[in-house]
Amino acid sequence: MNTESVVPLVDGPKRNGTLPSATNSALHFPKNFLWGTATSATQVEGHITNEWTNFVAPDGKHCRVACDHYHRYREDIQLMQDLGVKAYRLSIEWSRLQSAPNALLNRTELERYCDKLDCLRAAGITPMVVLHHFSNPLWIYRNGGWTNPATVAAFENFVTQLVPALRSRVRIWNTFNEPDTYASCSYLLGEFPPFHKVRLDSFRSVINHMGAAHLRSCEIIRRAGSAAGEIEVGYTKNWTHFGTLKPNRPWDWFMAKTSHTIFNRWVMDAFTRAGRNNAATFQGLNYYGRVRFHNGHSLTPARGRSREELAQLGVFSDDMFERYPPGMETVLLDLHRRVGLPIYITEHGAACDDEKFRIADLRANLTAVHRAITQGADVRGFFYWSLLDNFEWQFGYTKKFGLLSVDFSNIKLPRFPKPIAEIFRTACLENRVP
């Protein structure tokens, strides 16, 4: 199924750096391309009190310690430096910093984040700071979360305090991570707190409120500026291609079309309409692959199908989604035409125990990014999801996305590089598809 245009076509912006070479057998990326890795607070930090704290995943595990990154960020930054990454996308946990509506930010926790940002700077790693990544303070959550219009003002208060406090250390801000995934898992699929199903009205109000908060955050961030350099700000869209396994299956087609409309089109509309697009300086993209429907069911391990069973149907997946590298190229070109902003790939990665598969997936997707760039898409960076194996929300610790593994059976939670880490290191250091 083709994606459809939801935003009028505009000319692309001026490119940052020189065009990559397409003829060279080593596929080089533009000068200044930002190679990074990513995590989010709830998934790695541990010691957080938010709506996920009491959640127990099907593997019987919770996120109360996670990777203990809260205590080990110095060690993890050292590991990032060894990996050769130039950037790190991290989220700042709202629930740590604000204990009540309009309360002053907690100084101790703020200083801890400042120290982390200082360590990153000392390691030569540029931070991209995410303001909202699937979690909220309990006082927000208990009052209806993002279905409540008052959350927009509460978030604005948080951002109004946070941004000036970090302006000397942060110049790249990512307002919302995947409002689409957050709203659908929380209010349509019943997988994230508060575990509601098929509440389309709630889905829409979450997206609209997040869209409004995104606009306000962009304004606050641009007004504050940054002592660290030119401000960049944007939200991140998860782009999933939806389609059917077989042609001429009206019900499957209807499911794919409806999923696309709700997940992609409504969200893009909410974040780009009424000047919201002009408020951002970049478009963030998280891309993992596609979901195809067959006999009314989606063909993904995330919906309980085994990789082996899917492979027999011709659906090649990691432990989450069908992989579809050509879709990386098409979505980059599509976003470039629709949105007209520079793009950061703020997440891409694969989860499984088969490192050969993950390495092949990385190469194929980076080649697709390169192809999109040679056709004019202004892609500024690529962040591998994730630095560490971590708490994968509704799945607990069973989905292994890390460049580094974490031995969760050992109380010291030691980290070990996986084979893919060496491949990614080559990409970072040599600025090319490894």
Q: List interacting residues with ligand FCB (CB under 6 A).
A: 40, 43, 177-178, 181, 238, 286, 347, 385, 392-393, 401
- CA-based nearest residue to 212, from 235, 186, 196: 235
Instruction: In angstroms, give the least distance from the CB of 181 to ligand FCB.
Output: 5
**Number of Cβ within a 10 Å radius of residue 274:** 12
Q: Which is nearer to ligand FCB, 45 or 347 (CB)?
A: 347
Residue type, 21: S
* Positive/negative CA dihedral, 22, 26, 30, 36: positive
Q: Least CB distance from residue 48 to ligand FCB, whole Å?
A: 14
Residue whose CB is less far from ligand FCB, 266 or 393:
393
Q: How far is the CB of 8 from ligand FCB (least distance, A)?
A: 28
Distance of closest approach, residue 280 Cβ to ligand FCB, in angstroms: 18
Q: Which is nearer to ligand FCB, 43 or 98 (CB)?
A: 43
Please identify, using beta-carbon distances, which residue of 79 and 388 lies nearer to ligand FCB.
388
Structure tokens at 188: 């349509």
Give the nearer residue to ligand FCB in terms of CB position, either 55 or 393.
Answer: 393
Cβ at position 394, least distance to ligand FCB in Å: 9
Q: What is the rounded CA–CA span in Å between residue 310 and residue 296?
A: 15
Up-side HSE of residue 166: CA atoms within 13 Å toward CB? 32
254: Cβ contacts below 8 Å, ≥ 6 apart: none
User: 415-417 and 404-406: which strand pairing?
Assistant: antiparallel
Nearest distance from residue 57's CB to ligand FCB, in Å? 12
Which residue lies nearer to ligand FCB by CB, 151 or 174? 174
Could you tell me if 253 and 194 are in contact, meaning their C-beta atoms sit under 8 angstroms apart?
A: no
Is the CB of 268 or the CB of 373 nearer to ligand FCB? 268
Shortest Cβ 178–ligand FCB spacing (Å): 5
Looking at beta carbons only, is 159 or 320 nearer to ligand FCB? 320
Q: For this structure, is 156 an active site residue?
A: no
Q: Which of 45, 178, 232, 322 is catalytic?
A: 178
Residue 57: Cβ within 10 Å count: 17
The first and second tokens of residue 165, run together, are 């406090």
**β-bridge mates for residue 173, sequence order:** 129, 233
Least distance to ligand FCB, CB of residue 38, Å: 8
Catalytic residue annotation: 178
